[in-house]
Amino acid sequence: MTSVGLLLVDKPEGPTSHDVVDIVRRAVGVRRVGHAGTLDPFASGLLLLCVGWATRLAEYLTALPKTYRGVVRLGQRTDTDDRTGAIVTESEHWGNVTAEQVRSALDEQLGDIEQLPPAYSAKKVAGRRAYDVARKGEAPTLRAEAVTVHRLVLCDYSPPDVMIEIECSSGTYIRSIARDVGESLGTGGHLRSLRRQRIGRFDVAEAVALDDESVSERIVASIRPPEEAVAHLATAVLDATAGSALSHGRSVEWGQDSGSEPVAVIVEGSLVAIAEPRQGQLWPQKVFAG
Angle at 63 between CA 113 and CA 147, to 5 degrees: 5
Q: What percent of the chain has pLDDT over 90?
A: 82
The reply to whether 177 and 86 lie within a common domain is yes
Which pLDDT score is estimated for 123?
81
The reply to whether 214 and 114 lie within a common domain is no
Give the 3-state secondary structure of residue 161.
strand
The single residue of 10, 19, 22, 40 carrying the catalytic annotation is 40
Give the 3-state secondary structure of residue 30.
coil
Q: How many residues does the chain have?
A: 290
Domain CATH number, residue 11: 3.30.2350.10
Cα–Cα distance for residue pair 88/65, rounded to 1 Å: 32
pLDDT category, 22, cuts 50, 70, 90? Answer: very high
- pLDDT (mean) for 275-289: 91
Range of the domain at 264: 233-287
The reply to whether 216 and 113 lie within a common domain is no
pLDDT at 256 over 90: no
pLDDT at 225 over 60: yes
Cα–Cα distance for residue pair 232/241, rounded to 1 Å: 25
Least confidently predicted of 36-50, 99-113, 137-151, 168-182: 137-151
Q: What is the DSSP track for 219-232?
A: HHHHPBPGGGGGTT
The reply to whether 22 and 75 lie within a common domain is no
When comparing pLDDT for 43 and 136, which is higher? 43
Least confidently predicted of 25-39, 93-107, 208-222, 265-279: 208-222
The reply to whether 82 and 120 lie within a common domain is yes
The reply to whether 46 and 71 lie within a common domain is no
pLDDT at 237 over 60: yes
40 is catalytic: yes
Which pLDDT score is estimated for 16?
94
**Sign of torsion over alpha carbons 248, 249, 252, 254:** positive
The reply to whether 152 and 172 lie within a common domain is yes
The reply to whether 206 and 270 lie within a common domain is no
* Distance in angstroms between the alpha carbons of the first and the last residue of the chain: 18
- pLDDT (mean) for 83-108: 97
The reply to whether 55 and 132 lie within a common domain is no
Query: Is omega for the bond preceding 160 within 30 degrees of 0, making it cis?
Result: yes
* Cβ-Cβ contacts under 8 Å for 170 (sequence gap 6 or more): 37, 62, 63, 64, 65, 66
Whole-model pTM: value is 0.91
The reply to whether 108 and 191 lie within a common domain is yes
The reply to whether 206 and 167 lie within a common domain is no
- pLDDT (mean) for 120-126: 79
Give the 3-state secondary structure of residue 29.
coil
174 close to 81: Cβ distance less than 8 angstroms: no
Which pLDDT score is estimated for 2?
61
pLDDT at 290 over 70: no
Which pLDDT score is estimated for 101?
98
When comparing pLDDT for 142 and 238, which is higher? 238
Phi and psi for 23 in degrees, rounded to 5? -60, -45
